[in-house]
Structure 1
Amino acid sequence: MKTKKTDKPAVHIVQKELLQPYNPITVNLIGAGGTGGQVLTALARMNHALITLGHAGLFVRVFDDDTVDTANLGRQLFTTAELGQYKSVALINRINRFFGTNWKAETCLYDKKSLSDTELASAIITVSCVDTVQARYDIAEILKNLAKNYGGRNHVKYWMDFGNSRSSGQVILSTLEKIKQPASDLYRPVESLPLVTDEFKELLLSSEQADNTPSCSLAEALTKQDLFINSALANCGASLLWQLFREGILFNRGFFLNLKDFRTQPLKVA
């Protein structure tokens, strides 16, 4: 009697140039609000740890044209002394002073109108923490164009998107091009991870009905988003990125998080 062969587990294997780079890995972080501020702090901690372990570390640019107002205090990582400042500038200045980095703030939107410099737009890893569906589609269009037409050192490879509602959210890792995979007897290497804007189009369109008008106070902001949803997503998403750098192999390409029920559902590489 023949036994049925079991399928090899699907994995995505990271290229060596990200694991043992000669220069810091460039990361473009889009959005410096509730989630973006938390992700930036996680990236700074990750950079410090990677350098300690002999890695070249990260170089991060933060894109956001918004300024700090009173409704941001408490839920986002800003103080009264930073009221009126650009969010990206306030966060980057603090990170640079605390960790001794030389990361950059860009006080503009990440869109075709603002980004005429392809060197600035392109990064090996793009992390988006934006509020609107249209912003995600704009980012996807820019990244796909860069993947086809830009061949510089910071050629785009990965896009990690953070999105959330009041008490739930998701983090999805995508590739902008096929990542060459080694042969494996144990696993089934997957060279492409689908874009969030392609795979979860219906989910994005349904979430577009959410109210994105600015809040006038912290109390009003908390009726729209739970106090800890941003930090919970940021830490789990950063763990996925940390696994990419430290283990070089991914069995999961993201997750769905429900903070109300304390449930996390991984999204497997397939």
Structure 2
Amino acid sequence: MTSDKIKVHFTDNYLINPTNPVTINLIGAGGTGSKVLTALMEMNHSLIQLGHTGLFVRLWDDDIITEANLGRQRFAESETGLYKSVALINRANRWTGTNWKAETQKFKLGESERLPENFSANIYISCVDSVSARFEIADILKRLNNGRYYADRPLYSLDFGNSQNSGQAILATIGTIKQPNSEKYETVDHLPFITDEFGDLLKESETNDDTPSCSLAEALEKQDLFINSTLAQMGSSLLWSLFRNGLTENRGFFLNLKNFHSQPIKIA
């Protein structure tokens, strides 16, 4: 009697042996995005030390830093009034000597509906607040999946989302990723978008209150102090495993920080 093979997804070879830095569009520079950027700084340095070409990050956010952002997000009082994306990228570049870029606009199509060149990247990490923005990002990524082979071709997306004490991070492929033959594992070449798999649940969870918080106390009523940083660390660890291990058995996780429970989402 033989046991069932473990289902895994093997990392696209370009992430393992790239000719240029792996390009990442990080969408959202708030509570989660600001901390994911810190993780990407650490990841970039570690990859380069291991002989990899490293990462090139473009951070998208049109929000301005307010007093309510201080403390829970990666901002100082002296940065109040600046664009979040600019403050974070300037700090990252000074700290690590990178040449990463800030985009002071939303990651969305303009009136022309054309896809700008700076939309292209190998990995898309979304850390946005609204469900509608997540659906819009997914629609853009589907349009980018044209099957052509080029350096910045879209490969993966990693979506973060949370409520006050709980959240999730889910990895998806943009199209299919060619898998090697394996006698040990059952390989899976396609991982669905969160909007395709949990779209109805996302719509049910949508709230109509998009009013910005005026104070840290008010912000903490919406998102507790450590939910964003915990999600950022765990989700970044999933991304790191793609680079370091070359495969993954998990494509994400659900987290409840109130009862300290985490549930992995297995490759299916």
TM value normalised by structure 1 = 0.96
For structure 1, the 5+ residue unaligned runs are none
Q: What do the CA deviations read for 1:56-112 (whole angstroms, capped 9, x no partner)? A: 000000000110011111111111111110000000000111111110000010001
Query: What is the root-mean-square deviation of aligned Cα atoms in Å?
Result: 1.4
Read off the aligned partner of 1:127 and give its amino acid letter.
I
Q: Tell me which amino acid in the other structure corresponds to 1:76.
A: Q
- 1:127 paired residue among 105, 112, 125: 125
Alignment of 1:137-156 (within 5 A): 137-148=135-146, 151-156=149-154
CA separation of 1:152/1:182 partners in 2, compared to 1, >3 Å: closer, same or farther? Answer: closer
Q: Using the alignment, how far apart are the partners of 1:38 and 1:108 within structure 2?
A: 19
Cross-structure match for 1:71: 68
1:180 corresponds to: 178
Q: CA-to-partner distance for each residue in 1:162-216, whole Å, 9 max, x for gaps?
A: 0000000000000111100011111000000011100011221122026332100
Offset of residue 149 of structure 1: 7.0
Answer whether contact 2:36 2:232 (CA < 8 A) is retained: yes
Q: CA deviation at 1:223?
A: 0.9
What TM-score do the two structures reach when normalised by structure 2? 0.96
- 2:51 aligned with 1:54: yes
Structure 1 residue 148: Cα displacement: 2.1
Q: Which amino acid counterpart does residue 141 of structure 1 have in structure 2?
A: D
Amino acid of the residue matched to residue 174 of structure 2? Answer: L
SS at match of 1:111: coil
Contact 1:118–1:146 (CA under 8 A) maintained in structure 2: no
Report the secondary structure of 2:124's partner residue: strand
Identity, % of aligned positions: 59
| d(CA) in 2 for partners of 1:151, 1:53 | 26
- What SS does the corresponding residue of 2:252 show, helix, strand or coil? strand
Shift of 1:116: 4.5
Distance in 2 between residues matched to 1:144 and 1:224, nearest whole Å: 31
Cα distance in 1 for partners of 2:128, 2:239 equals 18
Question: Structure 2 CA distance, aligned partners of 1:208 and 1:137?
Answer: 12
SS in 2 for 1:34: coil
* Aligned residue number for residue 10 of structure 2: 13
Task: Please give the alpha-carbon distance, in whole angstroms, between the structure 2 residues aligned to 1:24 and 1:36.
Answer: 20
Q: How do residues 203-222 of structure 1 correspond to structure 2 at under 5 angstroms?
A: 203-209=201-207, 211-222=209-220
d(CA) in 2 for partners of 1:20, 1:236: 24
Mapping 1:82-93, distance limit 5 Å:
82-93=79-90
**Contiguous gaps of at least 5 residues in structure 2:** none
Structure 2 distance, partners of 1:32, 1:149, is 30
- Specify the code of the residue in structure 2 equivalent to 1:161: D
Code of the aligned partner of 1:136: R
Number of residue pairs matched by the alignment: 267
Match of 1:259 in 2: 257
Q: Which 4+ runs in 1 deviate beyond 4 A?
A: 114-117
Aligned partners of 1:76, 1:98: CA distance in 2, in Å? 18
1:21-46 alpha-carbon deviations (Å, 9 max, x no partner): 12100000000000000000000000
